[in-house]
Chains A and B, each alone.
Chain A
């Protein structure tokens, strides 16, 4: 091997070593970067879990502390219609529950009629177990608080607001309606502005929370649950007809 070619081989080897060093350095850098990302993610998960365990406890444990019953309400229910009507229809529902919206859409007009001709009185039993379905805004509680506030201050508008809230029902899992939207719907439903202004005082949030517990303690398993004179109605509530028939037969018509 000539001296020249030996030098060239040596240079080549040096260049290769240099490239390998650079490659190794780059790899170490990427590894460190990846490790950092992983450590950061683990830390974020821990923080999120800790926050979730703490945040999850507070609404349910602190709220029942201040249970204020709305005037005109009793036994976790808000009465609608003629109190001497022969049939009592109790509806357990959550303003976020899509199935409850379907019940309302199918039977709203019929219930209107039965209320008006004095066949039935309705006990609205709002609960808030779907609070987790509104991306942290607790729509079920806010809407329930609104209806309880109206029961307290303007009971003659309860039914209209109830129907209006379902007519504008937000999608499950969305953020729900904002406080402003709820106030607007209530105003459109004829609720006096003085009562609407009290929505944000959240006076009845504890009552809704306690009502939810009471409902599940009494054997309600989900919403909507309909009781006709205390008897659970097992028929199809998602189409017009069966519910009306059951109510009318209970009234002896």
Chain B
């Protein structure tokens, strides 16, 4: 019966190790992407003329992405933020895999800070899509990985009741999680992002 398969998948999904390994892989991917983007930013700073001419690749043109003010919102390349913050998430995931349980206030703070990071990542994604008008594969990897880390972190914090939520909300959310509704929302959300990119840039991507 299909029930046993979905049941097994659901158990796997709620397995503690799955949660932390997903977070570990996503944060590591994000760190790699941030590193590549940081190196690129330094190269461009060294020689700004490298990408001044419009590139033949229609989606990435005239070095607009790297030159855009959004790419250095705080006065330095955004990717530096990833270099600073992702190792913390990696440490958190590895320690939790090893059985460490962090105090409630710690997990709550991690949630708050990571939520700010998520908002920033999506603001950048939006700017790249609709303002800068160019695709940047490493930036999209960061968007995806940030989404996954946020998803798993929120899952853990609701499961472990770390968010100081009103009782009724807390119980509603934990029952939604048991029903895998959160997983569904994330899958739908990621598909929605893919659809948006394909609709906007599909012609350039597949031509």
> Residues on A close to B: CB < 8 A?
23, 27, 30-31, 34-35, 37-38, 41-42, 44-45, 48-49, 51-53, 55-57, 60, 94, 97-100, 129-133, 136, 172-173, 216, 221-225
Contacts and interface: CB of A to CB of B under 8 A. Distances in A.
A38 B204 CA distance: 25
B132 interface: yes
Interface of A is mostly: helix
A200 to B, nearest CB: 22
Contact of B203 (A35, A38, A41, A132): A132
Given A45-B195, A60-B207, A98 B64 contact: yes
B44 to A, nearest CB: 15
Q: Which secondary structure dominates chain B's binding surface?
A: helix
Contacts of B134: 173
Given A23-B175, A41-B192, A45-B191, 9 more contacts: A48-B198, A129-B54, A129-B56, A130-B58, A132-B204, A172-B61, A172-B64, A221-B56, A222-B55
Nearest to A46: B198
A181 to B, nearest CB: 20
Give the interface centre of B56, B61, B131 by most chain A CB atoms within 10 Å. Answer: B61
Contacts of B55: 221-222
A97 B188 CA distance: 36
A97 B195 CA distance: 27
Contact of A56 (B56, B181, B204): B204
Given A38-B187, A49-B202, A172 B133 contact: yes
A44 B56 contact: no
B54 A34 contact: no
Interface residues of B, number: 36
A56 B54 contact: no
B71 to A, nearest CB: 15
Contacts of A172: 61-62, 64, 133
A163 to B, nearest CB: 20
B58 A52 contact: no
A133 B192 CA distance: 22
A176 B184 CA distance: 39
Contacts of B187: 38
A35 B207 contact: no
B58 A31 contact: no
Nearest to B59: A132
A48 B198 CA distance: 6
B88 interface: no
A56 B58 CA distance: 12
B195 A48 contact: yes
B30 to A, nearest CB: 24
